[in-house]
């Protein structure tokens, strides 16, 4: 087959164009730090990247869910601590009031302090965090305790578990059992203590009410211990998800990020090849009559 000047010129220009394309690819990789800038550059890398990023998005959502679970548990722990302190103070006042050394006016003063502590417990029971009542199960839009004389729990008090998905297929209870912290029995006991100290009921009933109060405090302590166990599990889940996030980001980096040292070497080599091609091409493309006319 006869090789014509036109064929040599066309092939030379074609190869020069390919050389420019390779230079452009290396320059894009160097400027972006990525192996590809569009899916057509490498469909395999692009498809893997979609899958890996979907996995990372899922992990990031679980981290946000963890933050919500921490919010509930932290505020629940704070509320339980406040109630526990109030009950201990009420117990001290009850023991002080039933020992027979206080005058009637002093007993009424003690009853007034217990009334204030009781109202504080009601306030804790109606704790609202980010627009949600944390001590009313899954019915987060309604306050669990109705202010009254004495305070009483709402008829539709919700005891269902408020669960948060903290990992794939793992739902963790974020709330506490409200009736183990606040209950009709608790408010009835507090009201009876207050009535006995204010003279509306016999002072002798304080012994039984004190025993009832101790029972409620034991239940509260058990609920607090259970919350602490779940909090420890939440810490372990967070540590595992943090590791998964690091691994997911590393996989994405391995799949998409360009090796800058290799890119610089390839770019330098390609520039040398391109200059050589230009030099050879200038010899292949012979002068024409127009060149002599200039």
pLDDT at 148: 61
- pTM equals 0.76
Q: What is the spatial distance between Cα 288 and Cα 5, in angstroms, rounded to a whole number? A: 11
pLDDT at 224: 93
Contact 83, 181 (CB under 8 A): yes
Q: What is the spatial distance between Cα 211 and Cα 225, in angstroms, rounded to a whole number? A: 21
CATH topology of domain 70-252: f41 fragment of flagellin, N-terminal domain (1.20.1330)
pLDDT in tens, 182-216: 888 888 899 899 988 888 888 888 889 999 999 99
Task: Parse the chain into domains and list their residue ranges.
Answer: 5-33+258-293, 70-252
pLDDT in tens, 34-84: 777 777 777 888 888 888 888 889 999 999 999 999 999 999 999 999 999
Stretches in the chain below the pLDDT threshold 50: 153-155
DSSP, collapsed to helix, strand or coil, labels residue 145 as strand
pLDDT at 155: 42
Contact 35, 254 (CB under 8 A): no
Residues 6+ apart with CB under 8 A from 149: none
């Amino acid at each position: 087959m006869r090789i014509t000047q036109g064929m040599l010129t066309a092939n030379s220009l074609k190869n020069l164009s390919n050389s420019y394309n390779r230079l452009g690819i290396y320059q894009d990789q160097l400027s972006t730090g990525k192996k590809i800038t569009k899916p057509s550059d490498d469909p395999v890398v692009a498809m893997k990247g979609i899958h890996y990023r979907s996995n990372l998005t899922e992990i990031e959502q679980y981290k946000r869910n963890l933050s919500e679970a921490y919010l509930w548990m932290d505020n629940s722990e704070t509320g339980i601590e406040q109630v526990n302190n109030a009950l201990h103070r009420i117990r001290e006042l009850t023991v002080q009031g039933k020992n027979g050394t206080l005058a009637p006016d002093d007993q009424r003063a003690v009853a007034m302090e217990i009334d204030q502590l009781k109202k504080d417990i009601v306030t804790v029971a109606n704790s609202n965090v980010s627009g949600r009542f944390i001590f009313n199960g899954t019915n987060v839009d309604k306050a669990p305790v109705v202010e009254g004389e004495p305070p009483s729990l709402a008829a539709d008090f919700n005891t269902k578990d408020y669960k948060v998905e903290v990992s794939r297929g793992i739902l963790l209870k974020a709330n506490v059992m409200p009736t183990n912290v606040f209950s009709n029995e608790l408010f009835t006991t507090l009201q009876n203590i207050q009535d006995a100290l204010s003279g509306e009921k016999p002072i002798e009933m304080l012994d039984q009410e004190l025993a009832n109060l101790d029972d409620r405090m034991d239940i509260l302590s058990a609920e607090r211990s259970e919350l602490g166990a779940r909090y420890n599990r939440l810490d372990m889940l967070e540590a595992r998800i943090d590791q998964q996030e690091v691994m997911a980001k590393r996989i994405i980096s391995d799949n998409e990020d360009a090796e800058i040292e290799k890119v610089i070497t390839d770019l330098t080599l390609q520039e040398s090849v391109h200059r050589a091609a230009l030099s050879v091409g200038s010899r292949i493309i012979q002068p024409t009559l127009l060149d002599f006319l200039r």
